[in-house]
Amino acid sequence: MRHQRRHVFGITSVVASAALLLAACGGDGGSGGAGADGKIELTIGTFGEFGYDELYAEYERLNPDIKIVPHTTGQGGPYHQALFTKLGAGSGLDDVMAVEEGHMSDVLAKSSRFNDLSEIGPADVSGDRWLDWKFEGGKDKEGKLIGYGTDIGPLAMCYRKDLFEAAGLPSDPEQVKPLFETWDAYFEAGDRFVRNSDGAAWFDSASQIFNAMQNQLEVGYFDRDDTLVVESNPEIKQNWDQVTAAVKRGQSAGLVAFSNEWNSGFKNSAFATKTCPGWMLGVIEEQAGPEHAGKWAVTDAFPGGGGNWGGSYLTVPTQSDHPEEAAALAAWLTAPEQQIKAFKAKGVFPSTVEALDSPELLAATSDYFGGAKTGELFAAQARKVEHAQYKGPGDGKIQENASSPALQAVEQGKTPEAGWQQFVDAAKQIAR
C-alpha cells in the first residue's frame, strides 16, 4: 500500500494549493459566485436521470436568494471520469456533485477533498432519515459523512413465468419464493430448469450472479485496512466455485451485461431469471419488448437475503465556494418529500425511511410485470439489506477488470481453477 500513503500526501498539497488559488481569486465570479442580482449561484452536477428538474424551480421559489445551475451529463461513465479529473486538477467541480454507488469507494478514498456534511449540513438532518446501510455507505473510514443518499437499487428476482411453467417449475410470485431463498436453492432450481427447458439458460451472466453474492459478504474485496482479501477470504472462493460450477452445468447464457448480445438475449428468451434492482424493470421492458409483456414477473425474494445495486449520493467538494448553501440544497433534495416527488416524476427509487412508507410509493404497480406492486415490493427488499459492505479503493475496478472478465473466460470455456487464477492475478495487479 505504498501508493496509498503517497496519495494522501499528494491530496493535501493539492487541496492546499487549491485553497491558495481560491484565496487569491478572492471569490470574483467563477462557478458558484454571487451573481449580478445578488443571488448566490449554486451549481449541481448529475448524470442520467435524478428526477430533479422541477425540484430546482421549487427550491428557488422557497429560497429567493439562491439560483441553481444544473449540469447534467447523459452517461455515468464520462461523468465520473470528469469528476476524478477535476478533483485532481483542484478546480472545475460543481458545488453539489452526485456520485454513483459504484464510484463511491474511489471518492471515499479521497475524502479529504470533500466537506464533512455532518459538520456543514443543516443540523436537523440526521442519520435516521435514511436506511441505515445507505447512510453508512456515505461515510469514509473515519466516519466522515461525504454524501447524502439519493436513490437506491434494492435487489429482487425477475423471472420468466412462461419458461418456468414450460420447465415444470412453479410460476406464481408467491410460490417461486422458495426457489429464491438461498443461493443453494437457486442453483438447484437452475439445474432442474436447464434439464427441462428448451435451450434457455437459468441466468444471463455469471458475473451478474457473482457480484450480487459478493456484495452480501461481510467483507468485500478489501478489509478495513485496505488489504486485498481475495485469496484470504474463503467465502469469495466458495462463491466463485458455486457460480463457476453452475456455469459448467449450463446455467449461464454467457451474455455480458449491457452488451448488444445481452439486449438480444431478452428478445430471444435466452435466460429465465435476472437479478433485478428496481431500475432493471425499465431495462427489461425496453429490451424484451411488448411481445413479452406479462411473461416477465418479479417477486420480493432474493437468494441470501437482500442486496443493492445502484443508487447515488450527493456530495459537496471542498472546491465549492458556498459549501453550506450547497449542503443545504443537497439535504433538501434528499429529504423524504422530495424523494417521493422524484419517484413520481421519473421512478427514482427513494432511500429514506419515511419515503419508503409513503402511500404514493406503496401504490406503484407495473403493468408489464403483470400488475406487480413494485413500490411495495422493492421497499420490502430495501429493508432486507443487512449492512453496508466496506469497499476499499479499487473495489469497483476489481469487479470490472478482474472478476467479470475472468468469469466471462470461464463461460467461454476456461476451467474454473484457471479462471480463479486469472481473477486473483488481475486483482493483485489492480491493488498493487
Partner 1 sequence: MSTDLGTGRDLRTDDEPEAPTGKAVARIPWRHRLSRWDVRLSPYLYVSPFFVIFGIVGLFPLLYTFYVSFFDWELIDDNPTFIGLENYAILLADAQFWKTLVNTVSIFVLSSGPQIMMAVLLAALLNTRLRGPTGWRVGVLMPYVASLVAIGIIFANLFGPNYGLVNGILETIGLDRIDWQADRFSSHVAIAIMVNWRWTGYNALIVLAAMQAIPREILEAAVVDGAGAVRRFFSVTLPLLRPTLIFVVVTSTIGGLQIFTEPKLFDAMPGSNNGGSTNQFQTITLYMYQTAFEREDLGYASAVAWVLFVIIILVALVNFLLTRRIATTGEGKR
Residues within window 214-273 making contact with partner 1, judged by CB under 8 A: 254-256, 258-261, 264-265, 268, 270
User: Which grid coordinates belong to 118?
Assistant: 455532518
Closest CB 261 distance from partner 1, rounded Å: 5
Bridge partners of 252?
Answer: 203
Out of 139, 341, 391, 414, the residue judged to bind partner 1 by CB under 8 A: 414
| 3-state SS assignment for residue 122 | coil
Separation CA 307–CA 45 (nearest Å): 27
Out of 77, 199, 282, 289, the residue judged to bind partner 1 by CB under 8 A: 77
| Residue number, 15 or 217, with CB nearest to partner 1 | 15
Bridge partners of 189?
Answer: none
Closest CB 408 distance from partner 1, rounded Å: 4
Closest CB 240 distance from partner 1, rounded Å: 15
Residues within window 270-289 making contact with partner 1, judged by CB under 8 A: 270
Closest CB 416 distance from partner 1, rounded Å: 14
Cα 140 to Cα 34, 108, 197, 352, 392, distances in angstroms: 31, 5, 47, 20, 10
Sole window of 1-9, 51-59, 122-130, 164-172 interacting with partner 1 (rule: CB under 8 A): 1-9
Residues within window 376-405 making contact with partner 1, judged by CB under 8 A: 397, 400-401, 404-405
Sole window of 3-11, 22-30, 131-139, 212-220 interacting with partner 1 (rule: CB under 8 A): 3-11
Element (H, E) at 156: strand 147-160
Question: Does 88 help bind partner 1 (rule: CB under 8 A)?
Answer: yes
- Type of residue at 390: Y
Residues touching partner 1, count (CB under 8 A)? 38
Out of 179, 372, 406, 424, the residue judged to bind partner 1 by CB under 8 A: 406
Separation CA 190–CA 186 (nearest Å): 6
User: Which grid coordinates belong to 335?
Assistant: 429529504
Closest CB 346 distance from partner 1, rounded Å: 23
Contacts of 255 (CB under 8 A, 6+ apart): 204, 205, 261, 262, 265, 270, 271
User: Which grid coordinates belong to 282?
Assistant: 425499465
Contacts of 225 (CB under 8 A, 6+ apart): none
Contact 14, 88 (CB under 8 A): yes
| Residue number, 206 or 330, with CB nearest to partner 1 | 206
Q: How many CB atoms lie within 10 A of CB 208?
A: 22
User: Which grid coordinates belong to 265?
Assistant: 438475449
| Residue number, 254 or 336, with CB nearest to partner 1 | 254
Interface ranges with partner 1 (CB under 8 A): 3, 6-7, 9-10, 13-14, 77, 81, 84, 87-88, 254-256, 258-261, 264-265, 268, 270, 397, 400-401, 404-406, 408-409, 411-414, 422, 429-430
